[in-house]
Amino acid sequence: MSFITNQRYAMPFKVKIFVHISANSLINNTVPHHNFNTLKEIHELIWQQIHALQEEGDGEEKKILLCRNVENYAGFGSNVHRYGVCMQVAYGLGRIFFIHQEQYSHFDGVFQWVKPESLKCGYLKQKILLNKSNSCNAQDPSCYHTNGYDLNNNHKVIEFNTLAKSVPYPRHIPGTLPEKLKKSLLSLGVKSPWVWFTSQFLAYLLLRPNLTFNETLSALKKNISFTPPIVGFHIRHGDKLTSREAHYINESEFVKVAREYFYENNITYKRIYIATDDIPAIDVVKKYAPEFQTKCSPQNYLLNGLGSYFQKNFSKEIIESTLVDLYLLTNTEYHVCDISSNLCRLVHALKQGRPPFKQDNILKSVNKEAQFYYQWWGFIYPSSLWISTKKNTESEYKSKDGKVFKLLKYRNDLFRKLEMNEQSSFDFVFARKLTNVTSEVTGYVNKKDLMEWPGTPIYYFFP
């Protein structure tokens, strides 16, 4: 299957647009209500809407969201998820988005292989980087309306720093989605609608390889006989083990999961694709499962490895090797991994952004000590739950070491106040959600009149 066949909408697969929606109707926020019968229909509509924001209309009239991530040198998977957040905010506000990060610092270099944010309006990116006189930073309280949680959408340019946490993030974050889409996704059997919805933005960002890279991928698949059905292994060792972010899991655990999948689905030809930063792991898998047809990237890609994710600059070869593995894993029917890596989560998301757009029975974790979940680095509802001290009385909690903390209770959750946010004029309190005795999740508390997350945000295309 070719990754790109529809140049207008830049989708990585053949599509039949289920309904004609003009660019003007999309831009003018007059999309009619639809009764969706398939996940493909919802996917195609969302991609048409993103395309309209990015490519249609007069560029000079567009409002812009600049996704700034220059200071962050986290891993590729982590950074892509952060950009997914920014894209969702842009979509919610009806803005074109651009990514600003240093060349080869984990992301900007990726546009040598995938299509840029906008082909028609890309010139706007450099224009706003040279002149920020008409921009507003989303971490500045003055960028919000006086309610403290809705961005003032009148600004021409809003700069969105995906690391700073000086004020609560805008409401259009993972965990939210238009109510109409939520009902449709639930009716179609999607158990976590917001994850499926947010995954569409990650897919739009990455699953649009340019013509040259698409030809490279097609040739690679032919070279290694990458044919379905096939199970993908993502065996991440390297820096994950040396930094103690994860512990070693024997390759036999991956083989066990694959055997179960093949048996349950009555698959005779047992093919697997191994993506790894540890080349010897491939031979170990072959030893445990000699009956498997084992596929992996060509030697020149394997030798590049993944390098250390905690370095400022990636080489071109490492970025390309990572993208090759990411694309091929996304095209497997089933993905087996240790969920300590955000690349594992990224594959799970991208699978929901391509046919057959499924959410269930596409991933299995070999890490029995960790639960697969999605959390976008503090962006996710309900980690960013907003509650009120006006309607919830404070109480005290005394820890074993004798320290006394002020607690805020909302339903069955407790929040510990940490400090006042001195930069905010809207009286926010920085707090941590106590999930158990030892675990805390960062969140924000509004002291005024908000009882909980302030309702489902209005999305540009779904008023």
Burial code (b: 16+ CB inside 10 Å, e: under 16) for 433-454 equals: bbeeeeeebebbbbbeebeebb
Sign for the CA dihedral angle at 342, 189, 203, 325 comes to positive
* Structure-token pair, residue 333: 């029917």
pLDDT digits (tens, 9 = 90+) for 339-388: 777 888 899 999 999 999 999 999 998 877 665 555 554 454 444 444 43
Neighbour-count burial of 224, counting CB atoms closer than 10 A to its CB (0-12 exposed, 13-18 middle, 19+ buried): middle
pLDDT digits (tens, 9 = 90+) for 121-168: 999 998 998 887 788 888 777 788 876 668 889 999 999 876 555 455
The strand pair at 135-137 and 440-446 is best described as unpaired
pLDDT band at 220 (very low <50, low <70, confident <90, very high): very high
Helix (H, G, I), strand (E, B) or coil at 446: strand
When the pLDDT of each residue in the chain is averaged and rounded to a whole number, the result is 75
Cα distances (Å, whole numbers) of residue 15 to 175, 355, 359, 360: 28, 10, 20, 22
pLDDT band at 249 (very low <50, low <70, confident <90, very high): confident
Q: What is the DSSP letter of 112?
A: G
Q: Is residue 62 scored above 90 in pLDDT?
A: yes
pTM given for the model: 0.80
Q: Is residue 85 scored above 70 in pLDDT?
A: yes
* Angle subtended at Cα 362 by Cα 360 and Cα 364, rounded to the nearest 5 degrees: 105
Q: Is residue 423 scored above 70 in pLDDT?
A: no
